[in-house]
Structure 1
Amino acid sequence: MALDLRQLRYLVAVGEEGHVTRAAERLGIQQPPLSQQIKAMEAQLGFQLFRRKPRGVELTESGRVLFEEARAIMLRLAQAERDARRVARGEQGQLRVGVAPTAPFHPLVPGVLRAFREAWPAVTVTLDECLSRQAVQGLREARLDAAFLRAEPPAEPGLAVDRLLDEPMVAAVPAAHPLAVAVAPRPLRDFAAESFIAFARVEGPGMFDATLAACLKAGFTPRLGQEAPRITSTLSLVAAGLGVALVPASLRRVQMDGVAYCELAPCDRPSVPLCLATRREPGSPILRNFATLVRRAGRAPEEAATSEDSRGSAAPVGE
């Protein structure tokens, strides 16, 4: 019969103290029962663990082999208990976050990711760039824990969605376009004759739907040009002079040769949401910590969310 953890704890205590009485004090038991336990272990194993000395005990050669392994087991068990407690508190583990292609350009998203990493450095955060439909599917299949979306998905029992903010949109136009140098905001109807590049019309319809609704409200049906699967390809098509695109205002941080940004008049300026979606079922403590942090940031004053940081230094265009 194998030794149990209690016996291993007794062995380690006596081996480290080299004295049964001191080991008993350390363990919070009486000396005679501990001596009896050591003798019972030796009888169970069939060999002597300790040599008795006038002023204590010392490990035998075979006893030392078992002592070293027992101490390693106790250390691993203690570490496992600490790790389990950290996971239970949301301090250790993994968080998988889906991110819409345009979301990282808004200061809220990198801000909360940075704050989360600083608060819980032992949590591994993995980011997966994906469009809205891909992100929702990832949440349904538990491949993602949370996702930043640029569209509020239809309500469904398994998902919880928080609308964090609504970000105004601007027109991305070719640098040679007459309105590229416009100082005053322009009415959206000024772009009625342009081709509009459709960004991720099917897989991530948030920006497309916002563009279509705004144009119809302004009194015209947009003439659709090419469809682009990514925001970088959308801006590349704009730079090539193949059309214009309405994009979140934070995209002004992306400085690309051949692209300029034109403010739209407040009366018909569209906006696009930034949402956090999570599975509605009880999530891990890590996810609860993250969602709480994001929701708190989303409740910050709007001027902080659309601060001058969104107009700041140029950011490199990602893939």
Structure 2
Amino acid sequence: MDFHKLKAFVAVVEECNISRAAIRMNMQQPPLTRIIQQLEQELGATLLKRLPRGVEVTEAGKALYQEALTILAHAQAIPKRVQNIAQGLEGQINIGFTNSVGLHSFLPALLRQFREAFAAVSIHLEEDGSNSLIDSIINEKNDIVFLRKPAPIGLGLNSLHILDEPLIVAMPNNHPLAGVNTPIQLLGLEPYDFVLYRRLAGQDLFDNILASCYQAGFSPNIVQEAPRLTSSLNLIAAGIGLSIVPEAIRDFWNKQIVYKTLQADTPCIAPIYAVYRKNLNNVRIQHLLKLLHNIEMIDASIK
């Protein structure tokens, strides 16, 4: 339907007078009268009752008036919304992360700061394995993902190192090492049974833990694997074994579990990287990266 006709009709209804509506529309009265007549012909309904000193809107006219207000308001908002989306101020940002990264407090703090700058942007989060997340970046399903390793070379992806999270020991509260008040030597864990986060679900973290054990001089005796990092805590609390976990897990669960600092010749850490496409002209991602370059500020907001 013609927006000009709707604007003219709204003016007539609100002015209750065709002459005043014509002045408001900056047009002559006869053309405005024809517009109203054309609307009535197109809709097959009487929209206005002609009175000696003006007009009165009919029930059909009231319905058209309400619809016209909605349509005109929406039409008026379209240019601004298109501009906002083009400028990255509206729309959606797709963020992926592995299970272990999702437990770190930097992520909600980062999203909170991002939200302050882009309040109208919808944040879609996806948790998955690292290989699937890499594919999601390549296929443009996600805009940025957070992993425990950098992106493979040659895929057209950038990797930004965000932080190194210490690895610690999680053990049942009745474990022989639970009463030790000093940091645990990594090699000192060799005699004990391990529970680990399944490699298929957390390849990067699994490989990182095994690499730390190998560098310390032993291969861990893995008696059971858990489908998720958090579910491994149930097995640890049940006394099935101990595990090496990212430090952030300490704040997630401490019932029947004791956490100990690890010591080794090579620091036991689990890094976190942001992975995104090269040459990405996206103001939202650029803002996220700017925040990540100031990770100290994010840490401060956590505290």
In structure 2, the residue matched to 1:75 is 73
What is the Cα deviation at residue 189 of structure 1? Answer: 1.7
User: How far apart are the structure 2 equivalents of 1:165 and 1:137?
Assistant: 23
Q: Deviations over 1:122-141 (max 9, x none)?
A: 44434333222233334445
Query: Residue 213 of structure 2 corresponds to which residue in structure 1?
Result: 215
Q: State whether residues 172 and 244 of structure 1, in contact with CA within 8 Å, keep that contact through their aligned partners in structure 2.
A: yes
Distance in structure 2 (CA, Å) of the matches to 1:51 and 1:245: 82
- 1:58: which partner in 2? 55
Residue by residue over 1:100-138, the C-alpha shift from the partner in whole angstroms, topping out at 9 and shown as x without a partner, is 222233221121223334544444434333222233334
Aligned pair partner of 2:171 in 170, 173, 177 = 173
Point out where structure 1 has 5 or more consecutive residues left out of the alignment: 310-319
Amino acid aligned to 2:185: P
Work out which of the residue numbers 256, 262, 265 in structure 1 matches 2:263. Answer: 265
Separation of aligned partners in 2, 1:35 and 1:50:
16
State the Cα distance separating 1:65 from its structure 2 match.
5.5
The Cα shift of 1:264 comes to 1.7
Change (3 A) 1:176 1:50: closer
**2:11 paired residue number:** 13
- Pair 1:72–1:250, CA change in 2 (3 A): closer
Q: Secondary structure at the match of 2:199?
A: coil
- Report the equivalent of 1:248: 246
Of 269, 284, 292, the residue aligned with 2:287 is: 292
Partner letter of residue 101 of structure 1? N
- Aligned residue identity for 1:169: L
Q: Does structure 1 residue 42 correspond to structure 2 residue 37?
A: yes
CA RMSD of aligned residues (A): 3.6
Asked whether the 8 Å contact 1:197–1:224 carries over to 2, the reply is yes
The normalised TM-score by structure 2 is: 0.78
Instruction: Name the SS of the counterpart of 1:264 in structure 2.
Output: strand
Kept in 2: contact 1:207–1:272 (CA 8 A): yes
Q: CA deviation at 1:263?
A: 0.8
The answer on whether the counterparts of 2:143 and 2:285 sit within 8 Å (CA) in structure 1 is no
Q: 2:105 aligns with which of 79, 104, 107?
A: 107
Deviation per residue, 1:236-294 (Å, 9 max, x gap): 333333333221111111334332111122643211122223455757x6xx4266236
Summarize the Cα distance change of 1:268–1:238 in structure 2 as closer, same or farther, 3 Å threshold.
Answer: farther
Residues 63, 262 of structure 1: alpha-carbon distance in 2 compared, 3 angstrom cutoff: closer
Give the letter for the 2:173 counterpart: A
Corresponding residue for residue 155 of structure 2: 157
Quote the residue 1:314 is aligned against.
none
Task: State the alpha-carbon separation in 2 of the partners of residues 173 and 259 from structure 1.
Answer: 6
SS at match of 1:215: helix
Corresponding position of 2:203: 205
Partners of 1:134 and 1:203 within 8 A in 2: no
Counterpart of 1:39, as a letter, is R
TM superposition shift of 1:82: 5.0
Mapped to 2, the partners of 1:65 and 1:296 lie a distance apart of 50
Rate the CA distance shift 1:235–1:43 in 2: closer, same or farther, 3 A: closer
| 8 A Cα contact 1:132 1:149, kept in partner | yes
* Structure 2: segments with no counterpart, 5+ residues: none
Q: Percent identity?
A: 30
Q: Is the 8 A contact 2:105 2:302 kept in 1?
A: no
Cα deviation for residue 51 of structure 1 reads 6.7
Query: What SS does the corresponding residue of 2:153 show, helix, strand or coil?
Result: coil
Check the 8 A contact 1:188/1:268 in 2, yes or no.
Answer: no
Q: Deviations over 1:211-234 (max 9, x none)?
A: 222223223333343222211232
Give the whole-Å Cα distance in 1 for the aligned partners of 2:235 and 2:70: 62
User: Aligned to 1:201, what secondary structure does the other structure show?
Assistant: coil
Match of 1:184 in 2: 182
Paired residues of 2:183 and 2:263 also in contact (CA < 8 A): yes
1:256–1:6 distance in 2 versus 1, CA, 3 Å: same
Letter in 1 for 2:251: R
8 Å Cα contact 2:151/2:158 also seen in 1: no
> SS at 2:224's partner residue?
strand
